[in-house]
Amino acid sequence: MAFNVVERVAELIAEVGRIEKESEGTYLSLGSLFPRLVAEMGKSSDIARRSLEGVSTVVSRRGGDDLSTMAEFASRAGVYFRQVNERDAAFLARINESIDRLSSLDEVIGRVRLDSEEMEIISLNAMTVALKSGNAGKAFSVITDELKRLSGRTIALTEEITARGRGLLDCFASLRDSLGELDAFQENFFSGLDRALSEGYRTLDVEIRNAVSFFAGLIDEASKVREPVQAVMQGIQLQDIIRQSLQHVGISLEEARKSALELDAMGTAADSAALAEELAYVSSIAELSSSLIEEIAAELDRGAASFAENIEAVQRTIAEVEARRTAFIKDSGRSFYCDSGAEGFTNGSARYLELRKSAITTARRLSEQVRSLDESFRGLAGLLSRFQNIVVASRIEVAKNRALAGVATTVQGMIELTERLGEDVGAAMGTTKDFIKIASTAIADYAGGEADAEEGAGEGSEGSRLQATLRRVESDIARLDGARCDVAEAIGRFSLYTADFIALIEDSHAALGKIRELSERLKGARGDLAALKASVDEALGPDSPRGAIRSERFRAMIERFTIFTHKRTAGKIADFEVEEGAGAGEITLF
């Protein structure tokens, strides 16, 4: 025939066969993903649950009772450190008060030195008067000579006291600086320690609970992929209908090919009625095949749309929960830090003990210097008593010897200087005694605990208790940091989906393009069938009878169909009734 029906039908049979084979391969490939997706969903769920347990059981794995005991100890340690801080502050206040009293010594020492120098000058004047008096002043000369010697010793001792006073003032400044640094450091150290201990355990517990609650909610969100995955897998079952439908198209086209071969065999001399019957049969088969392909393509499009919607729902859920998981893990890094906590405390503890020891050492040195200065003042007081004896002797000698009347004023000056020296030395000794009374006891008590600790005293000593408490706190902070590290690691390992599950979803999504391609190729085949029908109808002519189809051939053909709706479609085209109940147990309905 001019329009070569045989060749065109053969091409359509081949294309439908290829589409059937490729669609079957695509759906079988998708079908093979089903058990793997189900298995990976189960694995993902198990991993997520185990990850959640990993976060929630961190404390219990590290010894929940131990951490609870640590928290109780932290509370007691906080109270103890506050008491230590208060005792230290009281000690600092007493020392500062004593230092303030000692600050007046510098002025007293200066006055003693000046008075001693003036006494030396007076003794020289008295000696000059005695020498001028000749034999009458010999006894007084002995007195003035002793006075000069005592004045020299007083000046030397005063210089020694002055030097010691300067050293004492330097020690004052050093101790004041040490105490000030200790006071400032321990305030921050103990308050930070209290936060690290008391708040550390409480914060860890709260943040673990928050993490567990967050991940539990995230697991529920992540499980929402199950429903769309099930829907996708159900859509794969469409392949059975697609395959049967394409087989029906193949059966129909094969009948058209046979009829076309008969047309070729008839040639131009064929009976017009027989020719019209074959042409009408080919046209009807083309119409039936086109109708079936339209249904198949529509079914593929609906399946692809549902497939795309469900796959996108899965991918959207994965993206959302993974974004929230990643953000939480990133944010939790600021909460569950696990670096330098114990090291920072160790450094702080060592610095605190170092400052405490430095303050004690300086306080001891100051106490020793004050005691030494007190001894010097005692020596000065001894010299002063001899001054007083000499002054008395001078008054007696002047009273007995009229030749010495000129030194009466000098003797009066000696009396006044001796009184001033006595007052100044008395004030200085009173100051040192007050310091020794107020500060030395405090220093001894404060330093005693440190000495106990250094010498390995029993557990009951204050210094030993302080160091033991600091060591226990250091150990507990290290364990607390370890718990934080464990939580951070558990959170970092938290997983919702396996890598294989995500890969399988991506593979499923890639198959969507193939299904759409098959639909487009079927639509192309339908266009070819429409062109074939148009060509056949043109050859048949407008006046040719349309009822020339031999319905028994159509009936025989559709008996091979397994889908009732296809049979019904064929019946409408060939104008005969299809028994609805026939073979109902063996057919599949759309």
Task: For 126-145, write each residue's pLDDT tens digit.
Answer: 777 777 777 767 777 787 78
- 380: buried, middle or exposed (CB in 10 Å: 19+, 13-18, 0-12)? buried
Name the amino acid, one letter, at 355: L
Check residue 527 and give its pLDDT: 93
CA distance linking residue 536 with residue 278, whole number of Å: 10
Maximum CA extent, the chain: 192
- What tokens does 444 get? 């001894």
Tell me the CATH number at 80: 1.10.287
What local confidence, expressed as pLDDT, does residue 587 receive?
37
Q: What is the DSSP letter of 337?
A: -
Say if 584 falls within a structural domain. Answer: no
Say how many domains are in the chain.
1
d(C-alpha 226, C-alpha 232), whole Å = 10
Can you give the pTM of this predicted structure? 0.58
Cα separations in angstroms, 298 against 98, 258, 564: 102, 28, 17
For residue 429, tell me if it sits in a domain. Answer: yes
Return the DSSP state at 560. Answer: T
Residue 147 counted as domain residue: yes
Query: Given the structure tokens 């990976």, which residue do they identify?
Result: 40
**Helix/strand/coil for 407:** helix
Q: Which of the 8 DSSP states describes residue 364?
A: H
* Distance separating alpha carbons of residues 141 and 361, to the nearest angstrom: 51
10 Å Cβ neighbour count for 508?
23
429 lies in which domain range? 64-196+341-453
Render 52-99 in DSSP notation, one character per residue. HHHHHTHHHHTTHHHHHHHHHHHHHHHHHHHHHHHHHHHHHHHHHHHH
pLDDT < 70 stretches in the chain: 1-3, 58-68, 102, 136, 193-198, 267-271, 333-344, 403, 447-463, 543-551, 580-590
Q: Helix (H) and strand (E) counts for the chain?
A: 16, 0
Q: Considering the domain boundaries, does residue 98 fall inside one?
A: yes
CB 263 within 8 A of CB 282: yes
> Quick one: pLDDT at residue 586?
40
Q: C-alpha distances in angstroms, 389 versus 163, 414, 430? A: 28, 11, 23
Residue 512 lies in a domain: no
448 located within any domain = yes
Please check whether residue 370 lies inside any domain of the structure: yes
Report if residue 484 sits inside a domain.
no
